[in-house]
Amino acid sequence: EEEESQPPPGEEEGVKLTASSRHDEQLREEPLSPPMRYDEWDYLIGRERPAWCTLLEKPAEEGNAHDIADILDRNEDLVNRVKVLVKAVQIQRPVRLRRRLDGDRLDLDACINATIDLRTGVPPDPRVHAILGRQQRDLSVLVLLDLSQSTNDKVTNADTTVLNLAREATVLLADAMARIGDSFAIHGFSSNGRHDVGYYRFKDFERPYGDLAKARLAGMTGQLSTRMGTALRHAGGYLKD
């Protein structure tokens, strides 16, 4: 008798294996942070409440990554325009260029070395100036999305919701920055009261903008309430890093 062929582990009927590329992306990601407490300004009483809100990072639900490709296909002309606009932003890190014959300031180390040379009878190096130059593009962006229930509202005079519009705008920006090579992250938040401020990381800095990030963008939904201050404080920590 012939034995019935058994499916490989994890491929039983009704079970789908995660694509290896997406699984590899998940393994490379930073783990979710532990619960964090943040102060909050209470505008009603006019004072700050210390450690008032608890933020919980939560796994982002995944949708169909092909939905993101559809957004790009529908907005092909706009994609190119956004890319040109982002690339035109000349934000560069200032770098002090030392040991110059001319400059707008003195290079302190070079001056000290020149003084030592003079006192020891050695001809000093005349390059004792410094200038501020810009050597590389230095742009990082964190997009923080409000994912509260109100984003499910329809946009006035448009057959779409606030959430869908925010998703499309984010996809266009992310595609442009990924093509240029700038560093960016996409996070979102919603709140179920001050003890449960949910924070979702769709894409982190230095992580690939691949199928996993796109599936998370496709799967994001609007729910619960808004608690912007706590989410902004948490996002600020990622920008500092």
Q: What is the full DSSP assignment across 87-137? A: HH---EEEEEEEEESS-SEE-HHHHHHHHHHHHTTPPPPS--EEEEEEEEE
pLDDT, one tens digit per residue, over 203-225 is 998 888 889 999 999 999 999 99
User: Taking the C-alpha atoms of 76, 77, 82 and 88 in order, what is their torsion angle to the nearest 10 degrees?
Assistant: 130
* Res 147: pLDDT: 95
pLDDT, tens only, 11-50:
444 434 445 555 555 555 667 888 999 999 888 899 999 9
Q: Which two three-digit tokens encode residue 201? A: 């990381």
Q: How many CA atoms lie within 13 A of 63 on its CB side?
A: 13
The pLDDT score that the predictor gives to residue 8 is 47
Report the mean per-residue pLDDT for the chain: 82
Q: Which amino acid appears at position 164 of this protein?
A: N
> If you average pLDDT over each of 18-22, 55-59, 85-89, 131-135, which comes out highest?
55-59
Sheet with 47-58, strands from edge to edge, namely 36-42, 47-58, 197-203, 183-191, 140-146
More confident residue, 33 or 148: 148
